[in-house]
Amino acid sequence: MKFINIFLVVAIILNFNFLKADEIKTENKIAKNLRCLICQGQSVYDSDSEFAISLKLVIKNKIQEGLSEEQIYNFLKIKYGEWILYDPVFNRNTYFLWLLPILIFLAGGAIIIKRFYYKK
Amino acid sequence: MKSKYIPLILIIIFLITFVIFFKGLKNSNIYTPDTNLKKEIPSFELKSFENDSIVISEKIFKDNDYYFMNIWASWCIPCKEEHEFLMELKKDDKIQLVGFNYKDNFTNASSFLKDLGNPYDIIVSDKDGTASIEWGAYGVPESFLIYQNKIIKRFIGPINNEDLLEIQKIIR
């Protein structure tokens, strides 16, 4: 009986740690995807400015409140604008940015296929 | 046929790229946040500066008054610069000043107010800076002009004489 109890306690502690590790992982992932608005070329994760420290705390709290990654990004987007996200969102202003590499890739592929076709 | 089209396509791709980069050249790459947004104010529950009582934002901001919420800290040098303008603004009874003490300790902050004067009608303290994130603030000093529970103007950095005149013009 005693053995089972100890086993249960250890299992619970281990599980708890896993959860915590997961939280820290997403916390860091989110912080790395955010631009520190008052620094030059640094992410929130990298920065130690007062702004970044508070922001990291907010992210931590929001994760504990049960918000998903997407919800946290949306929350910050409303507060600070799209500029805070490192990944540009797909919209009217950025569709060229997103589509141009694909277009160039397709054009290149077309040229290669055509060459092969003519060689044969 | 092959030699006819490929140079043309290349030229077109080159032109498109050129236009994109040329346009991008004129865009400013300095980030300037919107200062004229009519946003609902976020609600907060913070400790009062003087004692440990909880202050709820709904109780501070009432409908038909102008409020000037100023984020400040005693360790912030530009806050000293703008202080005289806050004292000037205090003389206007149409506006109430709300102080948002940012990541500060009580002793330093109260001696700051003792030395330079206290312009605020009410002060709340944001010990860890999380409440200022809810406001979309960048740091200290930063101020918000609030009317009917909406932010009508936002001042990033210390306010100066021009800002003061603008505020007085809006609330008149």
* CB-CB neighbors (< 8 A) of A84 in chain B: none
Give the gap in angstroms from C-alpha B128 to the nearest C-alpha of chain A.
6
With respect to residue B81, please indicate whether it lies within any of the assigned structural domains: yes
CB-nearest to B103 from A50, A55, A104 is: A50
- For residue B94, being part of any structural domain is answered with yes
| Interface size between A and B, measured as CB pairs under 8 A | 47
Count of structural domains, chain B? 1
Q: Is residue B11 part of a domain?
A: no
State whether the Cα torsion A6-A9-A15-A21 is positive or negative.
Answer: negative
CA distance B60 to B122: 8
What global pTM score does this model have? 0.74
Q: Is the pLDDT of residue B1 over 60?
A: no
Owning domain of residue B155: 39-171
Contact present, B52 and B124 (Cβ < 8 Å): no
B30: in domain: no
Best to test chain B binding among A40, A42, A50, A95 (most B CBs inside 10 Å): A50
The β-bridge relationship of strands B54-56 and B45-48 is antiparallel
**Would you say residue B93 lies in a domain?**
yes
Residue B12 maps to a domain:
no
What is this model's ipTM? Answer: 0.75
pLDDT tens, B131-165?
999 888 888 899 999 988 888 888 988 999 999 99
Enumerate chain B positions whose Cβ falls within 8 A of a Cβ in A: 2, 6, 9, 13, 20, 31, 33-34, 102-103, 128-130, 132-136, 138-140
